[in-house]
Chain A
């Protein structure tokens, strides 16, 4: 295995940049997130700029990544294997979106705002982890 010890360092750097980007963009604020989803009410389009900026930079990066034979610190790129638009994808995404709208948090901002030490965020993350474990224990076990 190549550069095994450097991979956590790269992950820490990427995670820090991600968390800082979330803080800067306003994504940590559930009110802003819900404002973005409130298209029938007082719509706040600012999060479209977050997504737009992120996708634009990621797309530009993808252009160079596609020319690389392998990543710098690993043997291969881990691309998602499933390419079918199947029922778990659609049902799961619908359930995810429901929670996203009700709470105003998705996993990235929820994790990042843990460092502010707010009770609602701690509760959200605890139940998010419980939801993940519940899925893996009960649903994944039955399907596979």
Chain B
């Protein structure tokens, strides 16, 4: 139960971050879009600063709680590489990821984002089912 409350609080801070970025800079906090802009060299300082902040977040977490957040990777390295390729390619083609479509898109009630979220939830569920051997 406590872990749900912590998750809810963490989520609320993510939502607050999106509100701050939109209110101050007028930009949607979509991580794939922001990372893509750094790669493309668009508005590099501002976008790179957001990415630097993303990396700083877990460091602040460490300073506060004296332990790193848990990151348990079970997938093999080749599978991780394939997953990275698919995530990078798909997020650019679909104009967003879990943050841009999932948080800001849903908050704006954008039909395009609702369609994107339903689609990536469905294919994510299918991918995990595939990993668990549900289709074998």
A residues with a Cβ closer than 8 A to B are 6-32, 34, 37-41, 45-47, 49-62, 64-65, 68, 70-80, 82-85, 88-108, 110-116, 118-121, 123-136, 139-140
Interface positions, chain B 63-87, Cβ under 8 Å from A, are: 68-75, 77, 79-87
> B128 and A38: CB pair below 8 A?
yes
Q: How far is the CB of B120 from chain A (nearest CB, A)?
A: 3
| CB-CB under 8 A for A101 and B125, given A26-B3, A55-B106 | yes
Which residues on the A side are within 8 Å of B27 (C-beta)?
Answer: 11, 74, 78
Q: Is the interface of A mostly helix, strand, loop or mixed?
A: helix
| CB-CB under 8 A for A100 and B14, given A29-B72, A120-B80 | no
Query: Complex Cα distance A77/B23, Å?
Result: 8
Q: A100-B127, A136-B36 are in contact. List 18 more A-B contacts (CB 8 A).
A: A12-B52, A14-B21, A16-B60, A21-B14, A30-B74, A45-B4, A53-B12, A64-B23, A74-B25, A74-B26, A96-B90, A101-B123, A106-B98, A107-B35, A107-B88, A113-B71, A129-B39, A139-B93
